[in-house]
Each structure stands twice: as C-alpha cells, then as structure tokens.
Amino acid sequence: MYRAILFDLDGTLTASAEGITKSVRYALHKLGIDEPDLHKLEAFVGPPLLDQFMEAYGLDEAAAWQAVGYYRERYAQQGIYENQPYEGIRELLQGLKARGYILGVASSKPIVYVRQILEHFKLASFFTVIEGSQMDGSRTTKGEVIQEALRGLKMEGQREQVVMVGDRKHDILGARDAGIDCVAVAYGYGSTQELEQAGPVMIAPTIEGLQRFFL
C-alpha cells in the first residue's frame, strides 16, 4: 500500500506547454534556428532541457548550454506564467491529503522554478517535499531527483510505499531507477504508446482516473 505520492510538475500538475515551447522557440531563434511549429516543441516538456536540445537539434554540449541560457531569459520573465493547473488538480490534492497520503513533487525543472510555480498557484502547501534539478546541470535526471525526494521524506528504506505520478517515459524510467513504482497519466504530454512502452503500474486517462486509483 502506498503512503507517499511524488508528482511530476509539467504535464501532470500543470498545463505548461505554452510557456515552455515559446521559450524553446525563442532560444532556437537566438541560435539562428527557426522553428514555427510549437506542437513539435512539446517534446521539450518533461525531459531535461540540456539533453533535449542536444537530441532534438543535434547541438553539441556547449551550444546546448547556450540554448538553455537563452531559454531561461524568456522563461524566467514570461514563460513561467504561461501555465495553469489542470482542472481538478487542487481537489485531487485536497482529497489525497485528507486521506492521509504524504505528497511531494519531483520535477526535472530547476527547483527554483518549481517552487515559484507552486507558490504562484498556491499549491506548495500540499507538499511535504519539493525537489527539482539544479541550474548548474547537476541532479538533472528524474531518477536523481526522485532519490533526493526520498531522502527528504526519509523513506529511502520504504520505497515500496512510494509511487511516482508523471506523464512522460522519463518519469516511469526514473522511478524504476530509484526503485519505486510509477503511475502514468495520459492527459499530459506523453503519447499512450510512449507510456505503454515504458511500463508503468497503470495509466490513468484523466484526473478522475487518478482519484479512483488512489481514493
């Protein structure tokens, strides 16, 4: 039986594609790459940003770091607020807390942004731990972030009682690396095929599906 639930942020708690994709497009433009298709850039929602710039556009590490810097220029000022919690998320978190679950956030996004977003939308108080990556590129993989969240919860020895909830394969694989289960959500930015191939405990099609699973 699960006692603690770790949530991904982008695509799980909040619909954040607009701010992320527009900031990615801004960064690419600064590098001389024009990408008019924002939908294509939804691949950047969830994975570590540096890795995604290298994978999607063939940038070397130095150029990818430059792209990350340009991305943050726009994201920190504007993109972070082009974002909103999914309808029903606040009620889900309230219900889980009332049932006695310990809640946390484990995101690949830099922790400074994670905290800012959760505080902006008045969601931070639901969570016992809030973890993310570091701006310098350390602790970027989902597995590393989850490990840090487990340390914060003091549940490293009770991994069978902790579950990750996320919308991309990185959440599922990161949870597996950290030795915990993962429940995937299909309302975010990962395709059903991507999620099925990664092999979560189950796939919840909606927030109501999460409520039924946990409550």
- Cα 87–Cα 89–Cα 95 angle in degrees, nearest 5: 130
Strands 84-85 vs 14-15: parallel, antiparallel or unpaired:
antiparallel
* Three-state SS at 51: helix
Beta carbons within 8 Å of 131's beta carbon, 6+ residues apart: 104, 105, 106, 107, 111, 114, 145, 146, 148, 149, 152
Q: Cα separation of 192 and 171, whole Å? A: 14
Q: Choose, from 8, 10, 171, 181, the residue flagged as catalytic.
A: 8
Alpha carbon distances (Å) from 127 to 112, 114, 131, 156, 171:
15, 12, 10, 18, 18
Task: Give yes or no: 8 in active site.
Answer: yes
Structure token digits, residue 211? 């409520």
Active site residues: 8
